[in-house]
């Protein structure tokens, strides 16, 4: 290479070194003396070029990183591309984290290192700002969702309350104006009608409260050791009474009586009462409803099967939306909130819910919950042994 060519090349590298936005140094690998430095280093570290050229580069490294730097400098022919971080110190004593890029070059048989330092505080700050912005976005989206839901709640609930209130008011008017003309039997009938409307409103309000608690993430999860079969028996009995025994409600358990697990009994009640009530509500009178229970791998599996009206295909993907009700159940009372409560309760347990349904044939909902601390009853030993 001719001298002119050599000079042109050197000029080219100098220009690159000088114009680098990253603080850059060239230092002697044996003495650690700074041989060259660029403008960005002076701007960021606060030393003038003259001061730098009098300095040992180790002065830029926080005291606990010097040994590591010396070890790195002792290695020949290594390149570091940002995977090493170090704590650097400015002239005014401020410490900050940098990612180091360094390459070995030989100048007139002296081993030297070309070092670039990238200020990590900026990228860390950007990363923190990005995390903050994305969490803000998530919180805003959640707020919007809650607001939308609140509006829907208000309009549906006020509509759903207005109807029974109007019915109650009209029967109360009739009773107060004409009670003398009504037989005791007729008066009792009107009072029963009022009672059923009040029950309907209470049910709606309870469901609304349960769903909004779930949305505000205020459902508590308090597992205790529960006898699985006994809990299911109690729930089935509750459903039979509410259903006025219009459907046989059976339990088909593969678990021996006395098997227990860590469950939140209140949430299990929410889940199974809603599913069993739906199964009876959406089945012709007399058709049986079955709750099956078994233990599979590390899951407790509960299935509620009915032979009722089924869920139309087009309704299936919207089943867990608040207030959603399929068209084929329009004549049957309901709030469209039960399955939302079931899903929230299942998720609180860390479980999953799925279903299979055919219109006119029936529906099966399957809940899988993690089987925590499942304990089988001790097997009684025969005396004859
Ligand atoms: P609700 O029963 O009060 O309407 P849910 O949230 O419990 O509200 O159920 C939502 C909808 O899912 C019901 O309106 C009905 O269309 C459908 N559904 C739920 N369970 C069954 C079932 N066992 N058989 C048929 N349809 C069902």
Domain count, the chain: 3
Atom 7 in ligand 1: which residue has the minimum CA distance?
A: 338
- For residue 60, name the pLDDT band (cuts at 50, 70, 90): very high
Q: Which of 73-77, 224-228, 315-319 has the lowest mean pLDDT?
A: 73-77
Ligand 1: which of 276, 338, 362, 367 to mutate, judged by most atoms within 8 Å of the beta carbon?
A: 338
Residue 384 lies in a domain: no
Q: Report the CATH number at residue 168.
A: 1.10.287.130
- For residue 1, name the pLDDT band (cuts at 50, 70, 90): low
Atom 8 in ligand 1: which residue has the minimum CA distance?
A: 336
How does pLDDT run across 313-368, given as a tens digit for each residue?
999 999 998 889 999 999 998 889 999 999 999 999 999 999 999 999 999 999 99
The pLDDT value recorded for residue 384 is: 39
How does pLDDT run across 255-290, given as a tens digit for each residue?
999 999 999 998 999 999 999 999 999 999 999 999
Question: What are residue 266's phi and psi, to 5 degrees?
Answer: -65, -40
Pocket of ligand 1 (CB under 6 A): 274, 278-279, 282, 306, 308-311, 319, 324-326, 329, 334-339, 363
How does pLDDT run across 137-165, given as a tens digit for each residue?
888 888 887 777 777 777 777 777 887 88
Higher-confidence position of 18 and 153 = 18
In the predicted model, what is the mean pLDDT of residues 10-27? 85
The pLDDT value recorded for residue 382 is: 46
Same domain, 363 and 238: yes
The structure's pTM equals: 0.61
> Could you tell me what percent of the chain has a pLDDT over 90?
49
Same domain, 208 and 239: no
| Last residue in a domain, options 171, 195, 215 | 215
Q: Report the CATH number at residue 302.
A: 3.30.565.10
Does residue 385 register a pLDDT over 60?
no
Q: Which residue range(s) make up the domain with 179? A: 139-215
Residue closest to 322 by CA, chosen among 342, 294, 301: 342
DSSP-based three-state secondary structure for 165 = helix
Higher-confidence position of 73 and 272 = 272
Does residue 108 register a pLDDT over 80?
no
Other beta carbons within 10 Å of 334: 19
- The set of residues, in sequence order, having a beta carbon less than 8 Å from that of 24 and lying 6+ positions away, is 17, 37, 38, 40, 41, 114, 115, 116, 117
Residue 113 lies in a domain: yes
Same domain, 86 and 26: yes
Atom 25 in ligand 1: which residue has the minimum CA distance?
A: 310
């Amino acid at each position: 290479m001719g001298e002119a060519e050599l000079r042109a090349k050197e000029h080219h590298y100098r220009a690159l070194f000088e114009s680098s936005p990253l603080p850059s140094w060239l230092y002697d690998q044996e003495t650690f003396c700074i041989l060259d430095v660029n403008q960005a280093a002076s701007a960021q570290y606060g030393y003038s070029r003259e001061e730098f050229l009098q300095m040992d580069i180790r002065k830029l490294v926080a005291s606990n990183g010097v040994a590591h730097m010396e070890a790195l400098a002792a290695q020949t022919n290594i390149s570091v591309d940002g995977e090493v971080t170090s704590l650097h110190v400015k002239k005014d004593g401020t410490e900050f984290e940098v990612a180091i890029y360094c390459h070995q070059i030989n100048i007139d048989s002296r081993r030297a290192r070309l070092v670039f330092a990238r200020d990590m505080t900026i990228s860390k700050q950007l990363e923190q700002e990005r995390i903050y912005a994305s969490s803000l976005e998530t919180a805003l989206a959640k707020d919007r969702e809650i607001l939308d839901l609140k509006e829907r709640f208000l309009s549906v609930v006020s509509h759903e309350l207005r109807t029974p209130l109007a019915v109650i008011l009209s029967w109360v008017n009739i009773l107060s104006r004409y009670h003398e003309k009504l037989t005791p039997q007729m008066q009792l009938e009107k009072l029963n009608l009022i009672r059923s409307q009040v029950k309907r409103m209470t049910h709606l309000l309870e469901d609304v409260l349960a769903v909004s608690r779930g949305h505000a993430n205020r459902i508590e999860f308090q597992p205790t050791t529960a006898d699985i079969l006994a809990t299911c028996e109690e729930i089935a009995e509750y459903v039979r009474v509410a259903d006025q025994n219009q459907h046989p409600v059976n339990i088909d358990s593969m678990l021996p009586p006395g098997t227990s697990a860590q469950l939140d009994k209140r949430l299990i009640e929410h889940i199974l009462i809603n599913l069993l009530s739906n199964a009876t509500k959406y089945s012709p009178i007399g058709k049986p409803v079955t709750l099956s229970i078994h233990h599979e791998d590390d899951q407790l599996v509960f299935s509620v099967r009915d032979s009722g009206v089924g869920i139309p295909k087009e309704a299936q993907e919207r089943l867990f939306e608040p207030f959603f009700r399929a068209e084929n159940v329009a004549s049957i009372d309901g709030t469209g909130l039960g399955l939302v409560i079931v899903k929230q309760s299942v998720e609180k347990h860390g479980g999953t819910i799925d279903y299979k349904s055919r219109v006119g044939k029936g529906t099966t909902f399957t809940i899988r919950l993690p089987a925590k601390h499942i304990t089988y009853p001790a097997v009684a030993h025969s005396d004859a042994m």
